[in-house]
Each structure stands twice: as C-alpha cells, then as structure tokens.
Amino acid sequence: MKITIAQLNYHIGNFEGNLAKMLEAVSQAKKEGSDIICFGELATCGYPPRDFLDFDDFIKHTLHSIDKLREAADEIAIVVGSPSVNPVPEGKDLYNSAYFLADQKIKYVQHKTLLPTYDIFDEYRYFEPASAFDIVEYKGKKIALTVCEDIWNIGNENPLYTVCPLDLMIPKGVDFILNVSASPFSFSHAEERLNILRNNVQRYGKAMFYVNHVGAQTEIIFDGGSVVMSPDGKVYEEMEYFTEAVRTFELDSVMKGGQENVQKKDKIALIHDALVVGVKDYFGKLGFKKAILGLSGGIDSAVTAVLAQRALGKENVRVLLMPSQFSSDHSVNDARELAENLGIQYDIIEIKDVYDAFLGKLSPIFKDAPFNVTEENIQARTRGTLLMALSNKYGNILLNTTNKSEMAVGYGTLYGDLAGGMSVIADVYKMDVYRLARYINKDGEVIPENSISKPPSAELRPDQKDSDSLPDYEILDQILYEYIEKVQGPEEIIALGYEAALVHRILRLVNINEFKRYQTAPVLRVSDKAFGVGRRMPIVGKYLS
C-alpha cells in the first residue's frame, strides 16, 4: 500500500482555491500509484475558520468541496478534514471531522473527540465532541482515523482530557494510524510534536502518518513538518518546514522502520522563516502587495525591514526615515545603508518643523509645563501620521516594528510607533531580535553592525537610552518570559533570584498596558504565548496593579 501526505497551504474561506490545490495533489498521487492521500484538519475551509462556521452558506461550501473530492476518489481513497453537520438537535450543530472517501463514496466519517479550548484554540465554541470510535477497513488494512488533538492526551503528567480516543480504537485490530492536523507553529513546538507522536507509537506499537498545514492565517503560522513514524518509534520522515509538499510513502517500508530522518531545529532560524511566511501570507491572502515602515537605524526596524524584503521582494517594500533634532547622525546613516543594502526605496522627511508646529499650537495650553513623555509621544505620532499618509496615498500597508519586550511593558505610543496593519516582531523578545540580526548577517553584513552594537534608544529626547528606565534586556526578557509564557506569579519569579521591587514593577507595567495591546495590529505568533487571541487578559483588573 502507498500512502501520500499532502502538506498544503490553505486559505480560510477560499473554497475554490483550497479544492483546486487538493485535486491537483490527488492527481499527482494517482500518477504515483498511491492508495490513500491525506489532507489536513478542516482543509476544505482552512483553519481556524472561527465564526464563519456560524454561517449556513459557509458550511454548504465545505459540503460541496467534500462532494467534489468524493467524485475524485475513484482510483484512490481521500482522507480530508472538514466540518460535518450534527444530525440530531442535541449538542452543537457541527463536528470537526475527518472524512474517508473511497469508491466515490463517503466511506466513513470520524469526528474529533478532544476539542482544545486554550491559548489560540476555541473549538468547543463550535463543535460537538465525538461519541463513537470505529475504524476504517480499506484494501485489507484497518485504519485508525484521528483529528489533531485526539493524539495529544498521552505522555502528560497532568492530562487535559479524561479520554484517549486511540485507547478505544486500537483494540479493534488497527494496522496503522492516520492523523489530520492543523498544528500551529511555535519555536518549541516541533520538538514537542515529535515527542507526542513518539509517545503514541510507543504506546500502541503502530505506525503513524501525521499531516499538518503549512502557511499563515493572519497571526497563526503553520510550519508543516508532517511526520511518518514507524512502529519502532523512529521518525521515518519529517517533511519540510514552511514549504508545501506532496510525498508518497510505501507502507511496507515504513513498517520495517530502522531509519531516522529528522529536520534540524534551530530556534532563531525557525523564527526567521516563520516570520517571513507570516508576512508573505498576510499580504498575499488579503490581496495586498506593498509594505511601508519607519526605518530608524535601530535594530527592531532593521530586522523588520529585512523580513519584509525577503517576504515581499525589494520592489514591494518602502521605508521612511524621519529624523528629529534628537536623532543621531549615525542612526540616519545606518538606516540609509540598510535600505541600500536591501535595494528598497527610501525617503527622508525631517520632522523637527512638524514637531515644532505642534508645540507652537499647544504652547498656550501647555504654558511652562516641563518636557516629558508628552513631547516624546508627539514625535512618535508625527511619524505615525506621515507613514499612514504614504500608506493611504500609495496603498502600502504599514508594518509595526515593536518587539515583544517593548509591547509587554507598554514602551510604545498608541497611534504612533504602535500603528500598523501587522505587528511583525511583537512576539520576539529583544534579545532574540539581536539573535535574528546576527542570523540575518551570517553570510555577510546586511544589517549595519552599528545598528546591532549600539545601545538601544528611542531617540526622543537628548542622550536617551532604553536602560534609563528599563533593566537590561537580558534581565527584563527573563522576567517577562516567566510571567507571560510560564505563567509564574511574582513570588515564584522572585524565588528565582530576581529583585522583588523590580519584579513587581515589571509585572505591573505588563498589566496596566493591556489597553494598548488591545488596540494594536495582529501579532505574528512564534512563541507558546503571544499577545493577541492566545492571551486573554482583562484591561480593567486589580491583580498586581
């Protein structure tokens, strides 16, 4: 028996496009003599469709796609994820299902049992869990069909669910397992995924074929990395990251095992590739083409500019240099050098006159009030206004360049440097931004060395440095990681050796700046806990305030 994994980049709600991709893969698999081809979770409509699932018309389109795939399942069986309608009045209206199509019929439908409702997932909002667990018999083989989370409830010290669907399927004489998934990327997830698959294979002694999505859907990025695992627990194949691929495997060869083929997992390389895909698909799937951003000569905007150029092409990226009287000459030179290195269009608009005009209009009201954050924010909002003017005039979508450390503690100006249609590096801590810059320069200097080595500064007042009001980023990032990703409270973080007053101050800054994060652009997710839909905190709350 031959089994094909189709690791594809779907587009939410693009039924014709998704169906065309799948039919093309079916045609390829037929030419290779494959017996079964497997697509990902909710492949007909894309993942996550969210409240589109509430529209009857949306569901009709998914059923139409299933019907077209059924017609194509003549010389081959097709396994595909799609919503299915719950025929009884009790419970939710839909199931998250895996269809097994063969002989131009719907041979079997297995519903998803474990519906994740944490982090970015909210499946119990839409779907009814499975209550039946059968297996599929095809060409003399007995197959356990599972959907994504259904294999994730083993090997955990504190299981999230009370049932393991495969515990109910395996005793029925299963030969191998198919899993259709839509498993989002984080820089640590690929290793965790392999461990979960290995735990399943070791527990049940069965080969597993695991198919994942690739590409990005707004802030959520899928890395691919589909896996074929032999009964001996070895990774027979781990497919490409961030690349569409259709690959056919001989079941007999997989069953023999003995070989290990695992992709290299370098954190910074994975983040780099994920962010490039995130920008590319955000623009491509929304029909946008050109980007603009403010280039300051600092590391954050430099890294963002490189990622944009690699995602969209140099002809589609424009930058604006907006020095003030507080900007150093080397910052302007560094920004200009980077733009020239990347071959992207740049313009320079000095903002001193605009800034002075604002102060002149405000001076009767401000009177003799001393310079403070107000004047700093006027500069940031002046720059934001100029960038949005070019965005509106020429159709360039503004990219936000704020990093996660700054986003966490509120070091950004609403309607100024926090403006944009996409937050590119807002899930990347400052120290990892430096690592990204070094990675970008690994084959030669792209980002000027001075942008990497100079002390970070917003340059909004004379001789300003980030360290004037924040601890060193090495310390800040560690405290933020413990609080945001590891969900540790102040006493737990203090027990790790950090100064109590500093911990309380940093955590308070995170909490009181939630209102800013609610108003910023979607954040490309590369960690286990990104700002946005996966971290739902109240704006108004007393905790640590």
CA distance 126 to 26: 29
Instruction: Tell me the H-state helices in 12-121.
Output: 15-31, 56-72
164 is catalytic: no
Q: What is the DSSP letter of 45?
A: T
Give the side-chain half-sphere CA count within 13 A for 404.
Answer: 28
Which residues, in sequence order, are CB contacts of 478 under 8 Å at separation 6+?
Answer: 498
CA distance 1 to 141: 9
Tell me which of 38, 45, 107, 112 is the catalytic residue.
112
41 is catalytic: yes
Peptide bond into 165 cis (omega under 30): no
Contact 397, 291 (CB under 8 A): yes
CA distance 301 to 458: 11
Q: Which residue has the tokens 């965790």?
A: 192
Q: Is residue 469 helix, strand or coil?
A: coil
CB environment 280-307: b (16+ within 10 A), e (fewer): bbbbbbeebebbbbbbbbbbbbbbbbbb
265 is catalytic: no
CA distance 527 to 33: 40
Q: Which residue has the tokens 């503004």?
A: 398
Which residues, in sequence order, are CB contacts of 423 under 8 Å at separation 6+?
Answer: 400, 402, 407, 520, 521, 522, 523, 524
Tell me which of 21, 38, 41, 290 is the catalytic residue.
41
CA distance 379 to 30: 61
Three-state SS annotation for 258-286? CCCCCCCCCHHHHHHHHHHHHHHHHHHHH
Tell me which of 107, 148, 406, 459 is the catalytic residue.
148
Q: What are 39's two structure tokens?
A: 């697509």
Contact 183, 217 (CB under 8 A): no
Just list the catalytic residues. 41, 112, 148
